[in-house]
Amino acid sequence: MLTMKFFIETFGCQMNVYDSELVTGILIKNGYEQISNINKADILFLNTCAIREKAVERVIHKMEQYAHLKKKGDLKIAGVLGCIPQYSSDRLKKELPFIDILSGPDNYDKLPQMISECLKNKKIQENLELNEEQNYDDILPFIKNKFSSFVTIMRGCNNFCSYCVVPYVRGRERSRSAGSILRETSDAVSKGITEITLLGQNVNSYKSEGVSFPALLEKVSEIEGLKRLRFATSHPKDISDELIKVTAENKKICKHLHLPFQAGSNEVLKRMNRGYTKDEYLIKIENIRNSIPEIALTTDTIVGFPDETEEDFLQTLEVIEQAGFDNSFMFIYSEREHTYAKKNFKDNISKKIKSERLKKVAELQKKIGLEQIGNDVGKTKEILVESVSKKRKTEMMGRTGQNRIVIFESDDTIKAGDYINVHITGAEGVSLFGEIRN
């Protein structure tokens, strides 16, 4: 029999990027071949995100665009994986009646079996049970990138922020064993990876067999050949002094912290169930900056949460002003099924006001971000080269330890994956510009 070819497209967060690598690993191990040309695929998987309504609409639209391949008969199986099937399989079946496979994030190990079943009896295959034991400990992901990769250290979330669907679609929080994380990171490094990002919805609450998150960082950092260690996402309520100390002292741990604050008003934070006040957040940041002066901070912000007044919103602007983030992912509140907010609050901020507030946070963030990264002008920084720059072929881009983007005029000797020193000469938008220094 000819080898069946699959094509996988990823939507959403870094956890999904990692999960697609897991799925790829599972399918390759079972004799399937990955291809990058959708027109030649026998199997199509979209790995999806349900965090906001727009994300759901985008995936449904994308799948509709692929419907003709299924009709033509070249594509045998079209499947939707991840958070959307877990969020609303009924909607997918209604809007995409040609779908063959629906799998939630805890059932990827069953995909080969589901594919076989589907080919045999031509019936839709669904696996949407949440499995609180599932960590994919024995499965090696197929890593696409040659020098940088993600390693998921925990799955699910127990925080139940009132707006968020993640605890419902990814289930309860569970940590992988330190042993399996170390095996996977060592394997990646032995294949040439020099930068690892440890992933979880709330990495600070990692705990497995007595190993805490700071202890895990120390262990992973000892892997020979690893140069940079990153992690995301951190929850402000769980960041410990020990984590700050380890980040400050360990040379391999990058001086960048992604610390979502979501909103500035204490009333809104309370209704969001975030577990901290505005002042507590700002004090945490001050402590972090005192211990790690070179730290770069990034964040997530939501505008238009139910009942958010103009006063509340001004507090959000105040946090952005005072905290000095390099960058922020900024979102308009999107009501989600199952959540406490949907059940108890009315999505009562108009679209117009939501958009205006988004525009205001984005403008302020742009100004503050430029001031922050501008502090690097005149300094020489080590960067990990990632790719040729999108704008000009003679330029390349890379990132500093603080995760700041640097664009520089390259030469023939430099390639993606290299670590080089760049003298920073300017800043514009979210990028730094520089010249190679030997």
Q: By the 8 A CB rule, do 9 and 61 touch? A: no
Question: How many angstroms separate the CA atoms of 382 and 254, rounded?
Answer: 12
Residue (156 or 260) nearer to ligand 5AD, CB: 260
Site for ligand SF4 in 132-191 (CB under 6 A): 157, 159-161, 164, 166-167
Residue (161 or 193) nearer to ligand SF4, CB: 161
CB atoms within 10 A of CB 225: 11
For residue 185, give the nearest of 125, 228, 215, 244 by alpha carbon. Answer: 228
Residue (44 or 285) nearer to ligand SF4, CB: 285
Residue (167 or 398) nearer to ligand SF4, CB: 167
Q: What's the closest the beta carbon of residue 262 comes to ligand SF4, in angstroms?
A: 7
SS3 state of residue 54 = helix
Question: How many angstroms separate the CA atoms of 196 and 186, rounded?
Answer: 10
Q: Which amino acid is at 168?
A: Y
Residue (198 or 432) nearer to ligand SF4, CB: 198
Q: Which amino acid is at 7?
A: F
Q: What does 52 interact with, of ligand SF4, ligand 5AD, none (CB < 5 to 8 A by kind)?
A: ligand 5AD
Question: How many angstroms separate the CA atoms of 354 and 375, rounded?
Answer: 32
Q: By the 8 A CB rule, do 374 and 402 touch? A: no
Instruction: Examine residue 271 and tell whether it contacts ligand 5AD (CB under 6 A).
Output: no
Site for ligand 5AD in 34-93 (CB under 6 A): 51-52
Residue (175 or 262) nearer to ligand 5AD, CB: 262
Q: By the 8 A CB rule, do 125 and 267 touch? A: no
Q: What does 336 interact with, of ligand 5AD, ligand SF4, none (CB < 5 to 8 A by kind)?
A: ligand 5AD
Which span sits near ligand 5AD by CB under 6 A: 17-25, 30-38, 223-231, 329-337? 329-337
202, 208, 247, 400: which one binds ligand SF4 (CB under 6 A): 202
Q: What's the closest the beta carbon of residue 332 comes to ligand 5AD, in angstroms?
A: 6
Strand order in the sheet with 195-199: 148-152, 195-199, 228-232
Which span sits near ligand 5AD by CB under 6 A: 248-256, 333-341, 399-407, 427-435? 333-341
Residue (125 or 334) nearer to ligand 5AD, CB: 334
Residue (228 or 235) nearer to ligand SF4, CB: 235
Q: What's the closest the beta carbon of residue 169 comes to ligand 5AD, in angstroms?
A: 11
Question: How many angstroms separate the CA atoms of 184 and 287, rounded?
Answer: 33
CB atoms within 10 A of CB 224: 7
Site for ligand SF4 in 214-243 (CB under 6 A): 235
Q: What does 176 interact with, of ligand 5AD, ligand SF4, none (CB < 5 to 8 A by kind)?
A: none
Instruction: Examine residue 336 and tell whether it contacts ligand 5AD (CB under 6 A).
Output: yes
SS3 state of residue 82 = strand
Q: What does 167 interact with, of ligand SF4, ligand 5AD, none (CB < 5 to 8 A by kind)?
A: ligand SF4
Residue (111 or 302) nearer to ligand SF4, CB: 302
# binding residues, ligand 5AD (CB under 6 A):
12
Structure tokens at 97: 């009646």
SS3 state of residue 337 = coil
Q: By the 8 A CB rule, do 405 and 432 touch? A: yes
11, 261, 276, 333: which one binds ligand 5AD (CB under 6 A): 333
Q: What does 202 interact with, of ligand SF4, ligand 5AD, none (CB < 5 to 8 A by kind)?
A: ligand SF4
Closest CB to ligand 5AD belongs to which residue? 300
For residue 292, give the nearest of 343, 362, 239 by alpha carbon. Answer: 239
Structure tokens at 255: 């001086």
Q: By the 8 A CB rule, do 139 and 176 touch? A: no
Residue-wise burial string across 146-168, b where 16 or more C-beta atoms lie within 10 A, e elsewhere: ebbbbbbbbbbbebebbbbbbbb
For residue 235, give the nearest of 300, 287, 180 by alpha carbon. Answer: 300
Instruction: Examine residue 199 and tell whether it contacts ligand SF4 (CB under 6 A).
Output: no
Residue (177 or 277) nearer to ligand 5AD, CB: 277
SS3 state of residue 22 = helix
Footprint on this chain of ligand 5AD (rule: CB under 6 A): 51-52, 163-164, 260, 262, 300, 302, 331, 333-334, 336
Footprint on this chain of ligand SF4 (rule: CB under 6 A): 157, 159-161, 164, 166-167, 201-202, 235
